[in-house]
Every structure is written in C-alpha cells, then in structure tokens.
Amino acid sequence: MKAVRRTIGDKPELELHDESTPIPGNHEVLIRVHAASLNFRDQAILDGQYGGPTQGNGIPLSDGAGEVISVGDRVTRTKVGDRVTASCNPHWIGGPMHAEYHSNSLGISADGWLSEYILVHENAIVHLPDYLSYIEAASLPCAAVTAWTGLNLSSPLQPGQTVLIQGTGGVALFSLQVALMFGARVLAITSTDEKAEKLKAMGAESVVNYRTFPDWDHEILELTNSKGVDKVVDIAGEKTIVKSAASCRIGGEIALVGFTSGFGGGLPPIDILSRSLRVAGTAIGPRLNFEALLAAMTQHEVKPVIDRVYPFAEYREAYQRLTSGNHVGKVVIDVAG
C-alpha cells in the first residue's frame, strides 16, 4: 500500500512510502481509505508547534472515511463492506477525557488516514449515513465533533441562544451548522468581506470583519444590545481570547478549541470572575458525541462545507492550501480516486 509518513527530525517533512498492507488482529478493523481531510494541527505538527505527544515517523491526518475490507477475530461492531469513519481517540467512547486516550490518537500518536489503508480498533468505528459521500464524511471526525462538543461543553446548547464563531475553517463552519440545527442565533468574525458574505449565505445573522474593526468585541456587543453572546467557540487563542471574554454575557461560556494565533493570550482572571464566565478547553470529543452529531446531521441532512478536493498524489498541495488561510471549509484528499 502507499502511505505518507512524517520524517523524524527537528522539522518533520512528508514522504510517500510503499508498505505492506496491515493484517487485522483481535478487535481490529482494516479500512480501505477513500478520503482524508486536514486540520490545523496537522501542519502544526510539521512546524513543531503542536503541544501534545506525537508519533515519530507516523502517518498523519486524524480525519478520514472508507470501506471495511477485513476484520480480525472478536470484532462485533462492524463487518466487511460497511461504510465507516473513526473517532479520533479510538478508546474514548464516552465521559470526560483521560490522559491515556492521548496515547492512541489517530494521526497524532498513532497512524492516521493519509494512506491507502488504515488499521483501527473496533471501538473507534462510526457508521456513515447513506446521504454522506466519503469525501464529505472524511471532513467530520475532528472539526465537526469538536464543534458539537464545544457548543455543549459547559451546558447544553439551547434554541434562541446566541453563538459567536471565528473564521471560516472547519470548526467554525461546523459550529455555525450545529448552532443552526439547535435553533441558535449565529454571529461571526472573519478577515474579509468576501468570507463574510459566504458566512451570511450559510446562515450567520451578522458578520464583523476584524481587520476593518480591530475592536470587534465592541461590534459584537452592539449586535447583542450590550448584553453579549451566550457562547463563543474560540479557535485562535492568543489574539482572540480576551475579546472573546469581552463579547460574552454575564454567565457566558467560552469553548477554547484551538491555538491558530498562538499559545499566549493573557486573559485576566478578573475578566472571568467579574462576569462569572466559564472558560473550558475541549479535546474533540468521545465516540458518543460523534454518533449524536451524525444523528442530528442526518435528521436535518446537513452537508459539510468542502473547500477543495485534491488527488492523493497532490497531498503536499493540500497542505499548502490549508496553510494559505484562504480556505472556506475543509480541505480533503481523495485517496481512492
């Protein structure tokens, strides 16, 4: 099989290899990969900017989808021919995150989806609804589940609440779609008027260009009659966290899901205490969250937003598209096409 692996060194690169196709053992499932998609952290690993443990010489990408072609002994959750994806942390089935789940994180501390085949434990298997293609389904495991988890992290999302999203990447757009499924009002910030129009076309009520309005938190407060939003899905971290807090209502919630602008931020404790804010980090989510997300998406027939699809041979170009910051939605690699 063909597989892309990270090289070992101070600055890893990507190399294509010919390898033997793995054979599933007890409770293992072999999937023929049809599509895989990229997340910000995939490039962060190559840049040496990812904070968690990573597998040297590992196969990248946490997101993918494909067809089960072989199962090992004692497998009960799937069968040959099933259309499936997999939870990013295979043994995190439900409940809170525990440290041991990080030791087997697909594309991070274990081999991921940028390969013709992937071997996963049956605990990770998530079955696909018929209405989603492999390309669409490959966009879901990390970004979509993170959005679902983040919006329900401190308390369940409620109809009529106001949600603030940031940008047009995968987590942001899935957060918009999830919020709309719940009947919430969505506000957004983004970097260009063109992206703002795309967000409005997707259902965002109002969008603030943060380059035109650097103090965008003032604009968000004005849009909420000075009350502030109920929930923020903060993706950038360092350059947004203080303004995210300023945009919240008293008792509001911030789900910190990323660090695209850096690891700092300096959110003063008084900003949290004086308005009883709840600030919590999220690590994607368990398999049960993924299954709940898919059930809701299926009911509403929600389709992921795909920015571009690249053939397997152009995986480097896919990474370049991601790092350009010009994408709207998910960057996907068609592995089997």
Distance CA 232, CA 163 (A): 6
Close Cβ partners of 228 (under 8 Å, ≥ 6 residues apart): 220, 221, 247, 248, 249, 250, 252
Q: Give me the pLDDT at residue 259, please.
A: 81
CB 320 within 8 A of CB 333: no
Quick one: which of 155, 191, 188, 154 has its CA closest to 174?
A: 188
State how far the Cα of 30 lies from the Cα of 183, in Å rounded to an integer.
Answer: 39
**Where do the CATH 3.90.180.10 domains begin and end in the chain?**
2-142+285-334
Query: What is the pLDDT, as a whole number, of residue 223?
Result: 98
Q: Please, what is the end-to-end C-alpha distance for the chain in angstroms?
A: 15
Task: Tell me the three state secondary structure of residue 70.
Answer: strand
Spatial neighbors of 243 by CB under 8 A, at least 6 apart, are: 215, 216, 217
- The three-state secondary structure class of 176 is helix
- Token output for 203: 């259902």
Is the domain spanning 145-281 CATH 3.40.190.150? The answer is no
Amino acid 168: pLDDT: 94
The region that residue 228 occupies, defined by phi over 0 for left and psi between -120 and 50 for alpha, beta otherwise, is: left
Can you list the residues of the chain whose pLDDT is less than 50? Answer: none
Task: Please list the residue range(s) of the chain that carry CATH number 3.40.50.720.
Answer: 145-281
The pLDDT value recorded for residue 263 is 83
pLDDT at position 83 is: 98
Number of C-beta neighbours around residue 265 at 10 A: 18
pTM to 2 decimals? Answer: 0.95
Q: Please identify, in words, the CATH class of the domain defined by 2-142+285-334.
A: alpha beta
Output DSSP code: residue 313: G
Question: How many degrees, rounded to 5, is the angle at CA 152 between CA 146 and CA 157?
Answer: 130
